[in-house]
Amino acid sequence: MRKPQIIIGILLGAVLLVLGACAPLGIQISYIFYDGLVARAESDEYVEITNLGDQAQDLAHWELTDISEGYPSFVFPSYILAPGESIRVYANEYHPDWGGFSFEYGRAIWNNSEPDVAVLYNSQDKEVSRKSY
């Protein structure tokens, strides 16, 4: 009675593959507020990053970049992002309630008519999340 065991083995493998694909999402770029209300400079544009996983993550040396132009980039200081928590990286505003992160960029970053792509890299330069709008 070998065959049932092989079939069960294959089924188990398939289940594990599906579970792997549904693994916790971890840290994600959850939203890009690209059409700022502040005229011209759009300093209130922001990228929101959310911890959808179940583990806290230190963002030290993580990097957020507009890869459509290749700039600007923001490198995070040490900050523990708790499960379920969201932070924002503003174009050029300071909002302590959202972590107080800013590109400190004098012009609009996120193109209103031709969507840009934001990418988040971890401290090993590995892509963690990518989002457009």
**Interface residue list for Ca ion (CB under 5 A):** 34, 42, 66, 69, 108, 110-112, 116
* Nearest distance, CB of residue 107 and Ca ion, angstroms: 9
Asked if residues 55 and 84 have their Cβ atoms less than 8 Å apart, the reply is: no
* Nearest distance, CB of residue 71 and Ca ion, angstroms: 8
* Nearest distance, CB of residue 63 and Ca ion, angstroms: 16
Measure Cα distances from 29 to 12, 61, 63 in Å. Answer: 33, 16, 12
DSSP state string for 6-43: HHHHHHHHHHHHHHHHT----EEEEEEE-S-SSTTT-T
Q: Which is nearer to Ca ion, 81 or 108 (CB)?
A: 108
* Nearest distance, CB of residue 69 and Ca ion, angstroms: 5
115: three-class secondary structure by DSSP: coil
Q: Which is nearer to Ca ion, 64 or 108 (CB)?
A: 108
Q: Which is nearer to Ca ion, 85 or 116 (CB)?
A: 116
Which residue number is nearest to Ca ion in terms of Cβ? Answer: 116
Query: d(Cα 108, Cα 50) in Å, to the nearest integer?
Result: 23
